[in-house]
Structure 1
Amino acid sequence: MEKVFRNYNDIDVNAAVREHYRKMRERQTFEYVQRMHRKYLKFNKPMDLWEAMDHLNDLIDVSDPDLDLPNVQHLIQSAEAIRSDNRPDWMQLVGLIHDLGKVMFLWGSDEDGTSQNEQWGMVGDVFVVGCALPESCVYPEFNKLNPDMSDSRYNSELGIYEEHCGLDNLTLAWGHDEYLYQVLKHHKDNLIPEAGMVMIRYHSFYPWHSGGSYTSLLCAKDKEYLNWIRDFNKYDLYTKCNKIYDLNEIKDYYLPIANKYLGTGPIFW
């Protein structure tokens, strides 16, 4: 039987995943996201890339209905699938690191939703804050719980944004995508191509790339972004399985690629 991915109605995962998204929708307001940017985007915590990878051995993504393995296994599975298809080395690296922003749990807190116990500020499908929440969100019945949806500044189709301003001018719910994107954007040795950075930043933005929402906010450039994301998405989503890899065994292959595009020094988180 072919595996069904992103089945949010499965009774085995429904309760925990549903509660995660209830909290996320209720608490991820425009003000909250601004506060998280101020708190976490300081880039003052040096840590080696491989050390960060190793820390994801200690984290299971509570929002994922498809996999209950440590998150590092999902990263390796994605990278190995990209590698087996002979895709560019930079894309293999993106597959390996695309969820690495989840290391924020090391300095996160339950209050912020950025800890092992409370992950609603760190993982899950993201949405735009500052405008109306679309029905394409997972569990759209939770949209009404968001205080911004009772605020006239934020509850219209455009909200605080200008029509066709483009994805890069939107503020998304806080999570591991934006965190890693900003960390790498400020990393002086980063040579990952634009397509790879887009894959990192928007891979969890399902209401846009899979739900077809926010059309009034998109610009012409975003059509190219969508092609890149859909290309990456098949490796992010459809490679999930129960195969276990040893992080140290794959290091010899991926470390030279990481050094090529990110340098050999620490990354500042």
Structure 2
Amino acid sequence: MSEMEKVFRNYDQSDVTAAVREHYRKMRQNQTVDYVERMHSKYLKFDRPMGLWEAMLHLNDLIDVSDPDLDLPNVQHLIQSAEAIREDQRPDWMQLVGLIHDLGKVMFLWGSDEDGTSQDEQWGMVGDVFAVGCALPDSCVYPEFNQLNPDMQNPMYNTDLGIYDKGCGLDSLTLAWGHDEYLYRVLENHEENRIPEEGMVMIRYHSFYPWHSGGSYSQLLSEKDKQYLEWIKDFNKYDLYTKSNTIYDLEEIKDHYLPIAEKYLGTGPIFW
């Protein structure tokens, strides 16, 4: 772990609230193969139209309980990431990805405590994700909670390969349900989406820390995933290391990002 990672992802620091640890306990206990399949069926109906900026505004009302580094409304983290990418003069599509990469958290608007997709219960929406259907690695945050997952008592799911084939690749895995996969699926379904593959990979896998930072799941990776890892590592420095207490006004940065959003996502609503 680098010095910067120790600063930003220190789950052992004394001021990390008990809520963070409890969040991950619930996540590990409840995110099973069956649960993820049910969430796909329930939330991937794409029948809720909403404009991009309306969705952004809703994240003013959400603080990510799993984040030990930041207790600001989530929209501030998105703007911080996007502005850092913009400052480095990276491509416009990457600036947009920085701005929207956590937008799947808008799920809380129609979520529930039971699903872990509400403001009060976020274990089905935020936090580091892992693959379901195979053994949980020790690189998960709070690995002592791994054995709480019922699937780890099922011989179909508790081996290194589990339900997967060796070398099948990340795109063949089913990940724990959360905002990454939700936004990825929403954008994949969006006919006007022109975000390049690199950006879609950043959206889908940026919370998959046991893989991209923990080095786990090597038995499941394909050659293509080497390129995915380079893309994620590139994006990660803007997702993780830009967190601060700087407050932005969404309206003040809108003039820059609105044309980019229209270029890659069109002008109509996105169906969630």
From 142, 147, 165, give the equivalent of 1:144.
147
CA distance in 2 between counterparts of 1:6 and 1:117 reads: 22
Within a 5 Å distance, the mapping from 1:251-266 to structure 2 comes to: 251-266=254-269
CA distance in 2 between counterparts of 1:230 and 1:14 reads: 28
From 238, 241, 245, give the equivalent of 1:238.
241
Aligned residues: 269
Equivalence for 1:224: 227
2:19 counterpart of 1:16: yes
Gaps (5+ residues) in structure 2? Answer: none
SS at match of 1:181: helix
Q: 1:12: Cα distance to partner?
A: 1.7
CA distance in 1 between counterparts of 2:13 and 2:79 reads: 26
CA distance in 2 between counterparts of 1:182 and 1:143 reads: 27
Within a 5 Å distance, the mapping from 1:90-101 to structure 2 comes to: 90-101=93-104
Amino acid at match of 1:48: G
CA distance in 1 between counterparts of 2:85 and 2:191 reads: 26
2:79 counterpart of 1:76: yes
Amino acid at match of 1:233: N
Equivalence for 2:177: 174
Q: Can you list the C-alpha shifts for 1:14-69, whole angstroms capped at 9, x where unaligned? A: 41100000000000000000000000000000000000000000000000000000
CA distance in 2 between counterparts of 1:265 and 1:63 reads: 32
Amino acid at match of 2:239: D
CA distance in 2 between counterparts of 1:14 and 1:166 reads: 36
CA distance in 2 between counterparts of 1:152 and 1:109 reads: 31
From 120, 132, 155, give the equivalent of 1:117.
120
Equivalence for 1:134: 137
CA distance in 1 between counterparts of 2:113 and 2:154 reads: 26
Q: 1:151: Cα distance to partner?
A: 0.4
SS at match of 1:4: helix
Equivalence for 1:106: 109
Equivalence for 1:250: 253
Q: Can you list the C-alpha shifts for 1:90-132, whole angstroms capped at 9, x where unaligned? A: 0000000000000000000000000000000000000000000
Amino acid at match of 2:181: E
Equivalence for 2:60: 57
CA distance in 2 between counterparts of 1:11 and 1:118 reads: 23
Amino acid at match of 1:153: M
Equivalence for 1:214: 217
Q: 1:10: Cα distance to partner?
A: 1.6
| Contact preservation (8 Å) 1:8, 1:14 | no
SS at match of 1:13: coil
CA distance in 2 between counterparts of 1:4 and 1:212 reads: 20
Q: TM-score, normalised by structure 1?
A: 0.99
CA distance in 2 between counterparts of 1:182 and 1:10 reads: 35
| Pairwise CA RMSD | 1.0
Q: TM-score, normalised by structure 2?
A: 0.98
> Stretches of 4+ moved more than 4 A in 1?
none
2:158 counterpart of 1:155: yes
2:195 counterpart of 1:200: no
